[in-house]
Structure 1
Amino acid sequence: MKRDYYEVLGVSRDASEADIKKAYRRCAMKYHPDRNPGDKAAEAAFKECKEAYEVLSDGGKRRMYDQHGHAAFEHGMGGGGPGPGFGPDMGDIFGDIFGNIFGGGAGRGPRRGADVGYVMELDLEEAVSGVEKRIEIPTLAECDDCDGTGSQDRKLETCATCLGRGQVRFQRGIFSMQQPCPHCHGRGQTIANPCRTCHGNGRIEQRKVLSVKVPAGVDSGDRIRLAGEGEAGPAGAPPGDLYVEVRVRPHPIFERDGDDLHCEVPIRISQAALGDTVRVPTLDGEAEIRIPAETQSGKVFRLRDKGVRSVRSRARGDLYCKVVVETPVNLTAEQRELLEKFEATFVGEGARRHSPKSSTFVDGVRGFWERMTS
């Protein structure tokens, strides 16, 4: 004849859930087979403690037992019988003492939802000045028909395998290993009547539209976090976050380097030789740079505070304009004649002083061949 479950655990009938769990740990610690190898009586006592705990720790089963005693489970224990082996109990007994050698203590309850990533492409002007964008993302949302429980009637039962912990632990000598419960898949609860909409998952695929405020000064690789806008957590757990990664499209004029901007400014050969003032584009409109006479192609001019205002320090970068002397094309007959006359003036040794780079290059080539032939 089976003993009374309250008597097995040594608790009163009005004992709290915490008292029952504490009594079970004490009983299991005393009779566990690993502590009593070969002792059949201890093994039987351990199984008796385990069976009593599985009933009294489950609110529904406990009410049935209080009303009908052992007769309530003559045809099987309503939510499933004792789990296989001793894995869950090892976690309950030794978890607080030794911890989990391979990865910390066992997690209780469902984990939060997964984080979601989204890549947002922006024009340079949008990234520099800031913008508000509407985006649409695919995600897992909480099922409204079952309030995220996965149960059609919203009733969940404590998993009989892991006793609601969501994890099972196996002891091998001094080593402890754990894994998600294979019966409830880590939820700690089982569903008798799955929701017909989400099929017991508690979540459904959905497309969500969000408004994202992008601060001024962001650059490619920056991320904006929207807390709680990721996937819904399983079994009503908190949702994950949404991370929006910024990607700035190439610009036809400017190239960005941190908070600085770079651009090329084409000028005519006459402007480079005689000097001139040219207008250049900036993010704030046009600005002027003065080209001194005899400016060489590739010369860089710096315009302070005409770059990007940093999203972090709020300091502003500079604009660097590199002038490129452009070879004239589609010449008229008159222009060609003038250039030919101009070129004719570069003769003899006097031409060297008009083309310093060319003269240096010619001297270098001459020296190279002399070394090669000597």
Structure 2
Amino acid sequence: MADHYEVLGVSRDASPDEIKKAYRRLARELHPDVNPGEEAAERFKLVTHAYDVLSDPQQRQRYDMGGGQNGGFGGAGDFGGFSDIFESFFGGGGAARGGRPRSRKERGQDALVRVDLDLKDVVFGIHRDIDVDTAVLCETCNGSCTQPGTTPVRCDICHGTGHIQRTVRSLLGNVVTSQPCGTCQGYGTTIPYPCATCQGQGRVRARRTVSIDIPAGVDTGLRLQLPGSGEVGPGGGTRGDLYIEVSVATHPVFSREGDDLLATLEVSMPDAVLGATATIEGLDGPVDLEVRPGVQSGDVLTIKGRGITPLRGSQRGDLRVGVHVVTPTKLDAKERGLIEEFAKRTKAPAPHLAEFHQGLFSKLRDRFRNG
């Protein structure tokens, strides 16, 4: 067989770039789509095989050290062939030895989109239309990767198998190894006329709208999975999955503890003494509160079923409102006189330390958590 360097028309000390340029020049000249002659086809096979050997540093080294035309040694001292032998027995190049060419269709990657929500959105859940920038199916070729009216053609080098077999002589005898075909990249076919829209990828980047129903009870950091809504794979392969990562904004009035909503109610001193009825605006409408006479700072008013619907369930949490009695700081002479008269009539004791009360601190902790 002809020397590989002579086939490519390069010197033995040619650089990898020089070898690649020589191969590309000859491939354009001899490719069957350009030069259909039988002689050109044979030369094209020789050129491609020569490039496969010389473009691989290990194969080129073995060839330069006196190996055969396939890149392996011909003598009894062939220790370099052991790597191919081990690959044959222990899985190296196993995909190529399977005899099946690669599929151009591959599963697409998963996509991740972050969605910002208000606390109100998670009480009952919300429907959202979101824009996603991902790979979508090429409408021009419908994922075939070829120009309309054309199809992939069988690779003349590997004859459609997607791999090239080589015989390596070693201490253990002749061993047949396989590797992906360098001409078709292991697909078994080539695309002489790739789709101009997707550049032969079968997919393009585009923005699309995805409609999602975000359930109640989600919280910051939670990811929702939408199977089959991610990127289209190469060659029009199946879509990956789309993940929606939730971020819930901080509310100026309400905070969250599990499925309960927490808030603070400021009560004037007279209302704390006499009691009052208050109407507050909840996340899902007005809420009536009864402030009993003598209510203390740190007391918690609980309204059942006005919290958040749980992620898995239907029983809503509660709305817990911590009371904060506001002491007036600016009094006129008449108001001050009334307070002094009230103090004389009630004979309130002087400030003093009281017995430790764990419940009081629990209430205060709930209230300050909202502060």
Residue aligning to 2:42:
74
Residue 208 of structure 1, CA deviation = 0.6
Q: Distance in 1 between matches of 2:330 and 2:192?
A: 84
Residue aligning to 1:164:
162
Q: Distance in 2 between matches of 1:293 and 1:138?
A: 59
Matched, 1:360 2:353: yes
Residue aligning to 1:197:
197
Pair 1:203–1:190, CA change in 2 (3 A): same
Tell me which amino acid in the other structure corresponds to 1:75.
R
Q: For 1:26-69, what per-residue CA distance to the aligned partner results, in whole angstroms no more than 9, with x for missing partners?
A: xxxxxxxxxxxxxxxxxxxxxxxxxxxxxxxxxxx9xxxxxx9x
Pair 1:223–1:134, CA change in 2 (3 A): same
How many residue pairs get matched?
Answer: 276
Tell me the secondary structure at the aligned position of residue 353 of structure 2.
helix
| Matching residue within 125, 130, 138 for 2:133 | 138
- Asked whether the equivalents of residues 157 and 181 of structure 2 are also in contact (C-alpha less than 8 Å), the reply is no
| Matching residue within 344, 348, 351 for 2:349 | 351
Residue aligning to 2:271:
271
Tell me which amino acid in the other structure corresponds to 2:335.
Q
Higher helix share: 1
Length-normalised TM-score, structure 1: 0.58
Residue aligning to 1:31:
none
Matches within 5 A, 1:57-68: none
Q: Distance in 2 between matches of 1:164 and 1:80?
A: 14
Matched, 1:155 2:123: no
Q: Once structures 1 and 2 are overlaid, which stretch shifts more, 192-201 or 325-334?
A: 325-334
Residue aligning to 1:119:
114
- Asked whether the equivalents of residues 146 and 154 of structure 1 are also in contact (C-alpha less than 8 Å), the reply is no
Q: For 1:208-254, what per-residue CA distance to the aligned partner results, in whole angstroms no more than 9, with x for missing partners?
A: 12222223333333333322221110012111121122222222322
Q: Distance in 2 between matches of 1:197 and 1:294?
A: 76
- Asked whether the equivalents of residues 230 and 241 of structure 1 are also in contact (C-alpha less than 8 Å), the reply is yes
Tell me which amino acid in the other structure corresponds to 1:359.
H
Matches within 5 A, 1:1-20: none
Q: For 1:92-142, what per-residue CA distance to the aligned partner results, in whole angstroms no more than 9, with x for missing partners?
A: 9988964479xxx99953431111111122222222222222211111112
Matches within 5 A, 1:1-374: 73-77=41-45, 80-81=48-49, 83-84=52-53, 85=59, 98-99=90-91, 109=103, 110-152=105-147, 153-155=150-152, 157=154, 164=162, 190-328=190-328, 331=331, 334-339=334-339, 341-342=341-342, 351-352=349-350, 358-360=351-353
Q: For 1:170-210, what per-residue CA distance to the aligned partner results, in whole angstroms no more than 9, with x for missing partners?
A: xxxxxxxxx99987678675433332222233322211122
Tell me which amino acid in the other structure corresponds to 1:164.
G
Tell me the secondary structure at the aligned position of residue 112 of structure 1.
coil
Pair 1:91–1:117, CA change in 2 (3 A): farther
Q: Distance in 1 between matches of 2:156 and 2:272?
A: 83
Structure 1 residue runs without a partner (length 5+) = 2-60, 62-67, 166-178, 353-357, 362-374
Length-normalised TM-score, structure 2: 0.59
- Asked whether the equivalents of residues 112 and 232 of structure 1 are also in contact (C-alpha less than 8 Å), the reply is yes
Q: Once structures 1 and 2 are overlaid, which stretch shifts more, 196-205 or 313-322?
A: 196-205
Pair 1:324–1:237, CA change in 2 (3 A): same
Q: Distance in 2 between matches of 1:186 and 1:346?
A: 96
Residue aligning to 1:25:
none
Q: For 1:143-196, what per-residue CA distance to the aligned partner results, in whole angstroms no more than 9, with x for missing partners?
A: 22222233333425559689537xxxxxxxxxxxxx999876786754333322
Residue 321 of structure 1, CA deviation = 0.8
